[in-house]
């Protein structure tokens, strides 16, 4: 890669690092936030879910906006919004204020992240160069998470509000670098291409209702849960109908004819559900049952960050030898193994007893995350790379929201009392959710093993958009937009 390409990749890696460190720091600060603001378990879960709902709910619109209004423009604009509302979260004095700030921060990330990913996929030609860039990108995201665990523990030990103020400083550095290094490009031709607001509203409402139904399932009547989830499914049907008829759909349904893309999104959703759900339960177990400090918890979980080193080193070699599908399948099986090893967790487990689960989970993440990103964007026309990235990150965030909601619901339902034994029973029951999610993801990905050499990419996606080649590959040099 030339110097300019490396410069662009460095800025975008900085942004995904910011997103990773932001989520990780908040993760370990949750018990401190609960104590200071007096939040219930359900409201504490919404501090996390508000972000992932805003992120996942608006991701498709964010990806479409990047394609329509310019990738660089959307990246810089929404990085500014991310910066502002991260700072406002640190000023919150009530739970609803914090949840609102996290939701808007998630919306900002929903526009910023697919813009950044599509800059990479349109800057590097499809093949080994793009794969290398994407694996470095995913490794940086993992690095943000692992470093965030430690930094979050250090900051929360002083005051949990610094967990929100620290990303502001990092955002400013990335903003200056983005304006300097990412080249401007001509405004995209939007003739005949509009923003599908009806599709964005319907799919966001559907996601919100579905997660709400799962989160409230343990303490509301079954009929109300059924109505809530039924309304969500109805809105998903409305979304599909809108997309079928819209002149400029949020998601061109032809994209979903690619089996590899669909498998990558479904597996990504389930993988994220297990990964985020497990983190949530592990943090509560270590801090609220075992009484570990935020810093002790940070250092305990940092081993998961081994994927930061493995993603750009080991994973490319495995992909080159075995293909994306086999590597993804292996990663998902390892995730299931990691969760299964943690199921018999005890009230007095030593760290060596926990270590196998955590190290295997880090390896699993390194094998699954990057290759899923490759499969979900390969063969897609340049004009739709923002949408493809938006689809993938919607799946990740949708899965994260569902995983958090599901483990919370199971934990609340299975906890009978306030004694340590009752808490432990709740954690053990909740840990079944990540295991089930990982196993379902492995089953989905197994269908991709039938292809030659085990790659899960499937055929190129034929495009129905004007001016897009039928093979789904844009012509000419790839430059950032």
User: Is the pLDDT at 293 greater than 70, yes or no?
Assistant: yes
The pLDDT of residue 188: 60
User: Is the pLDDT at 192 greater than 60, yes or no?
Assistant: no
pLDDT digits (tens, 9 = 90+) for 359-395: 999 999 989 988 998 888 887 777 777 778 878 888 8
User: Is the pLDDT at 468 greater than 60, yes or no?
Assistant: no
For residues 62 and 57, the model is more confident at: 62
- Burial letters 183-200, b for 16+ CB under 10 A, else e: eeeeebeeeebeebebbb
pLDDT digits (tens, 9 = 90+) for 123-182: 777 777 888 888 888 878 777 877 887 788 888 888 889 999 988 988 999 999 999 888
The pLDDT of residue 215: 64
pLDDT digits (tens, 9 = 90+) for 243-273: 888 877 877 777 778 888 899 999 999 999 9
Task: For the beta carbon of residue 285, count every other beta carbon within 10 angstroms.
Answer: 24
User: Is the pLDDT at 81 greater than 50, yes or no?
Assistant: yes
* 3-class SS string, 381-450: CHHHHHHHHHHHHHHHHHHHHHHHHHHHHHHHHHCCCCCHHHHHHHHHHHCHHHHHHHHHHHHHHHHHHH
Tokens 């990691």 label which residue? 338
pLDDT digits (tens, 9 = 90+) for 449-467: 875 444 444 433 333 333 3
pLDDT digits (tens, 9 = 90+) for 308-351: 788 888 888 898 899 899 999 999 999 999 999 999 999 989 99
- What's the mean per-residue pLDDT of the chain? 83
| CA 436 remoteness from chain centre | 19
Task: For the beta carbon of residue 334, count every other beta carbon within 10 angstroms.
Answer: 20
User: Is the pLDDT at 356 greater than 70, yes or no?
Assistant: yes
The pLDDT of residue 476: 33
The pLDDT of residue 233: 94
Count the helices and strands in the chain (H runs, E runs): 17, 0
Least confident of 187-191, 194-198, 342-346: 187-191
pLDDT digits (tens, 9 = 90+) for 109-136: 989 988 888 888 887 777 778 888 888 8
User: Rounded to the nearest 5°, which phi and psi values hold at 190?
Assistant: -105, 15
Most confident of 59-68, 318-327, 471-480: 318-327
The pLDDT of residue 318: 92
φ/ψ region of 196 (left if φ > 0, alpha if ψ in -120 to 50, else beta) reads beta
Residue 338 CA: distances (Å) to CA of 43, 331, 467: 28, 10, 47
User: Is the pLDDT at 471 greater than 70, yes or no?
Assistant: no
Global pTM reads 0.78
pLDDT digits (tens, 9 = 90+) for 212-248: 777 666 667 889 989 999 999 999 999 989 988 887 7
Angle (CA) 283-293-151 rounded to 5° is 80
The pLDDT of residue 480: 36
The pLDDT of residue 467: 33
| CA 153 remoteness from chain centre | 21
The pLDDT of residue 189: 59
């Amino acid at each position: 890669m030339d110097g300019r390409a490396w410069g662009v990749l460095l800025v975008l890696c900085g942004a995904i690092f910011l997103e990773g460190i932001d989520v990780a720091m908040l993760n370990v600060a949750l018990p401190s936030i609960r104590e200071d603001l007096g939040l219930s378990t359900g409201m504490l879960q919404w501090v996390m879910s508000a972000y992932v709902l805003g992120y996942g709910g608006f991701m498709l619109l964010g990806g479409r906006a990047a394609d329509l209004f310019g990738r660089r423009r959307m990246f810089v604009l929404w990085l500014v919004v991310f910066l502002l509302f991260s700072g406002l979260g640190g000023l919150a004095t009530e739970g609803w204020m914090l949840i609102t700030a996290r939701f808007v921060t998630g919306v900002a990330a929903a526009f910023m992240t697919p813009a950044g990913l599509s800059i990479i996929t349109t800057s590097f030609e499809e093949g080994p160069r793009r794969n290398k860039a994407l694996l470095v990108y995913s490794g940086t995201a993992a690095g943000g998470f692992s470093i965030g665990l430690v930094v979050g523990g250090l900051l929360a030990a002083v005051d949990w509000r610094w967990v929100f103020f620290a990303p502001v400083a990092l955002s400013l550095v990335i903003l200056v670098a983005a304006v300097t290094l990412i080249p401007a490009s001509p405004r995209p031709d939007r003739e005949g291409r509009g923003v599908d607001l009806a599709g964005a509203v319907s799919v966001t409402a559907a996601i919100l209702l579905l997660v709400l139904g799962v989160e409230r399932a343990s303490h509301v009547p079954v009929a109300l849960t059924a109505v809530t989830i039924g309304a969500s499914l109805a809105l998903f049907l409305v979304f599909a109908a809108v997309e079928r008829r819209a002149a400029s759909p949020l998601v061109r349904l032809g994209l979903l004819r690619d089996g590899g893309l669909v498998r990558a999104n479904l597996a990504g959703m389930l993988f994220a559900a297990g990964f985020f759900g497990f983190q949530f339960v592990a943090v509560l177990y270590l801090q609220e049952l075992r009484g570990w400090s935020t810093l002790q918890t940070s250092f305990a979980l940092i081993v998961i960050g081994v994927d930061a080193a493995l993603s750009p080193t080991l994973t490319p070699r495995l992909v080159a030898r075995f293909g994306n599908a086999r590597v993804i399948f292996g990663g998902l099986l390892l995730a299931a193994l990691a969760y299964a090893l943690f199921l018999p967790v005890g009230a007095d487990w030593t760290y060596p007893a926990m270590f196998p689960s955590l190290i295997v989970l880090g390896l699993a993440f390194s094998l699954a995350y990057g290759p899923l990103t490759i499969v979900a964007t390969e063969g897609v026309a340049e004009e739709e790379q923002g949408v493809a990235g938006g689809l993938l990150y919607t799946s990740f965030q949708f899965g994260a929201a569902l995983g958090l909601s599901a483990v919370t619901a199971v934990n609340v339902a299975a906890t009978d009392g306030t004694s340590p034994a009752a808490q432990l029973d709740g954690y053990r029951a909740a840990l079944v959710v990540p295991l089930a999610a990982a196993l379902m993801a492995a089953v989905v990905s197994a269908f991709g093993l039938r292809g030659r050499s085990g790659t899960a990419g499937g055929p190129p996606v034929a495009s129905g958009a004007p001016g897009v080649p039928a093979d789904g590959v844009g012509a000419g040099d790839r430059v950032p937009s």
